[in-house]
Homo-oligomer: A and B are copies of this chain.
Amino acid sequence: MESAVLPQKSQPTRMRAETRRNQIVAVAAELFASRGFSGTTTKEIAEGAGVSEAIIFRHFASKDKLYAAILDYKVKQGSERMKAQLEEAASRKDDRAFFGSLAFEMLEFHSKDRTFMRLLLFSALEGHELSDIFFDSTARDMKNHIRKYIKQRTSDGAFRSIDPAVAARAFVGMVLHQVQARTIFKDDDVKLSNRQIADRFVEIFLNGVRDSEVG
């Protein structure tokens, strides 16, 4: 009789190792992204995943290894996405479509996954050993690709003769600063859609870079 009245203690959901592992990674990624590595406790992660702390350490040898697994996952996710973006952009025929697609895809990606930029910044600031790889996977390929494109268009005579590294940084800077303003600084006073913002950045950039004599 009594047991029927007592609040049913919901049994802990028993998961297969791989499923649990993935769940822990997902929960921990959220927490690390919002509080950083040293600001997140293994107890919080365990609570978030609905298991005891000991389970965390059955799946990951240490808190640091768990963090590394997350960065590793994000690196893969990021560089895949990046590759797809670059291919998509390269398939475009004109400058406007090339840069427009790049800017738009970056804005969309970070709109959908707000943890990415936070993890990237936290890991760089906190000096994690994987942070360089993280940054490289996100930025280096894109940077090199853009530079190459700019070089090509410069030798075509379409762009002014400008330092490709500086131009690439200028373009990426516009976009990433917009991402950070929204993701990190909650500064949302540019009310346009990602498509519109991308278009306007591209317009400024292309006019700025194209070969046309302006006083």
Q: Which residues of A does B touch, CB under 8 Å? A: 34-39, 118, 121-122, 124-127, 132, 135, 139, 162-163, 165-167, 169-170, 172-178, 181, 184-187, 189-190, 192, 197, 200-201, 203-210, 212, 214
Residues of chain B within 8 A of A210, CB atoms compared: 207, 214
Given B36, B118, B184, which contacts A36 in the complex, CB threshold below 8 Å?
B36
In the complex, what distance in Å separates the CA atom of A185 from the CA atom of B138?
12
Residues of chain B within 8 A of A187, CB atoms compared: 135, 139
Given B169, B190, B192, B197, which contacts A174 in the complex, CB threshold below 8 Å?
B169
Residues of chain B within 8 A of A209, CB atoms compared: 204, 207-208
Closest Cβ of chain B to A191, distance in Å, is 8
In the complex, what distance in Å separates the CA atom of A165 from the CA atom of B197?
10
Chain B residue at minimal CB-CB distance from A207: B208
Main secondary structure of the interface of A (DSSP, over half): helix
**A170, B201: Cβ atoms closer than 8 Å:** yes
Instruction: Give 13 CB contacts A-B under 8 Å.
Output: A118-B125, A139-B185, A162-B203, A169-B174, A176-B177, A205-B208, A206-B214, A207-B207, A207-B212, A207-B214, A208-B208, A208-B209, A212-B212
Given B36, B37, B126, B170, which contacts A204 in the complex, CB threshold below 8 Å?
B170
Given contacts A174-B173, A177-B169, A178-B173, contact A185 B35 (CB under 8 A): no
Between A34, A36, A162, A186, the greatest number of chain B beta carbons within 10 A of the residue's beta carbon is seen for A36
